[in-house]
Amino acid sequence: MEDDLMNLDLYELIGAPPTASTKEIKTSYRKKALSCHPDKNPDNPRAAELFLQLSRVLEVLIDDSARAAYDKVFNARKQAKLRITQLDSKRRKFKEDLEAREEAYRRSQVNTAARSDEQKLKDEIERLKKEGSRQVEEEVAFVKQKIYEQLHSDNKGNVNGIGGRIKIKWKADKNDDENGGYNYEILHNILSKYGDISVLIISNTKKGSALVEYKEKSAAIMATQIEMGLAKNPLSLQGLWQSNSDDKQTKSSEHKFSNSPKLSTNIFPSTNQTSCNIKNNLPSYSSAPDIFQTMAMQNNLSDVDFENSVLNNMRRAEERKRLLAQMQAAEDET
């Protein structure tokens, strides 16, 4: 791959002039990548190879050091070709013979100075291969998201499968190059154990923020319920499948519960005048739980857990009512 990049016109491949800025190069990459992505070219067996090659080209051209090394080699070759085309056939033949002899001599002398520029470019490409590039990861993720939206959108432009989308946050200082200890590979490894991921995007404008979409909503739900991330910097996962109206309805329901008056535990006032014998013979249920005794904890419960808690307490209240009725009946018989 390194040798291929060194011998190719990277600007022509990405569709940008040699004078293009980094922003213009990224724009050209997106346009070219969207057209040659494997998902949009299923009949082209080389589509995946071309898409990968395009990301490698982007990697070189948006890195200042690697691009400078490439430009030096690229311009030298360009000037050499231009000089050759300006010679007539006889002079060109003479020049080619002379250059052949000179090349043989250079090889025999192992002139490291003549190869230093190409070697530097080769070293830069190898460095990028080992280090990776966050900018390239973000651009590739952007293209994948656009492809996914194009292939899975309905007639109104709404993306199908939004139910499996999760917003992720964690602590990260705006000047933190490590982004709080999370990158694309780490997040993907953490989240992929719950199911197949359609797309994962890390924000390049806001530290500590990402968006993931699963192919199945069940996987997304499981991730939000279980995943905590790294112990040193936990993740906060929020599912985006619940609408604002659902949130308002839930809050309204919780408000009604929180303002409901407590049920009186003195359901049968006459039981306050029961004899000592009844008190001694029948157990006391004054410690039975209030139907809303867990209301103070409602903000720490999920909607499902909260509803289950309320139902269980209602069942206990009904049982208490039945037992007190038995006590009243026993009192009437005496």
DSSP code of residue 18: T
Q: What does the pLDDT read at residue 257? A: 41
Q: How far apart are CA 185 and CA 137, in angstroms?
A: 10
What span, in angstroms and rounded, lies between the C-alpha atoms of 17 and 114? 27
The pair of structure tokens assigned to 281 is 């013979």
Separation CA 236–CA 180 (nearest Å): 13
What is the DSSP-derived secondary structure letter of residue 274?
A: -
The answer to whether the beta carbons of residues 14 and 25 sit under 8 Å apart is yes
- Residue 39, pLDDT score: 85
Among 14, 11, 36, CA closest to 27: 14
- Fold assignment, 161-237: Alpha-Beta Plaits (3.30.70)
Q: Residue 252: which H helix or E strand, with range?
A: helix 244-259
pLDDT at 236: 94
Residue 297 token pair: 């904890």
Sequence ranges of the domains in the chain: 2-135, 161-237, 244-333
Q: Are 167 and 220 in contact (CB under 8 A)?
A: no
Which pLDDT does position 30 carry in this prediction?
Answer: 92
Q: Do domains 2-135 and 161-237 have the same CATH topology?
A: no
| Residues 38 and 50 sit within 8 Å (Cβ to Cβ) | no
pLDDT for 119 equals 83
Task: Please give the single-letter amino acid code of residue 281.
Answer: N
Angle at 104 between CA 100 and CA 109, to 5 degrees: 145
Contact predicate 150/192, CB 8 Å: no
Report helix, strand or coil for 139: helix
Scanning 110-216, the segments in alpha helix (DSSP H) are: 112-131, 134-152, 184-191
Q: For each of the chain's 334 residues, which pLDDT tens digit applies?
A: 455 778 889 999 999 999 999 999 999 999 998 888 888 888 888 888 889 999 999 999 999 999 999 999 988 888 887 777 776 666 777 878 888 888 877 776 655 555 678 888 888 888 887 777 778 888 888 888 777 777 665 444 444 545 688 999 999 998 888 899 999 999 999 999 999 998 889 988 888 999 999 988 888 998 998 999 999 999 999 998 765 445 545 444 444 444 444 444 443 444 444 443 434 444 444 444 444 444 444 445 555 565 566 666 677 777 777 777 777 776 666 5
The second-level CATH assignment, the architecture, of 2-135 is Orthogonal Bundle (1.10)
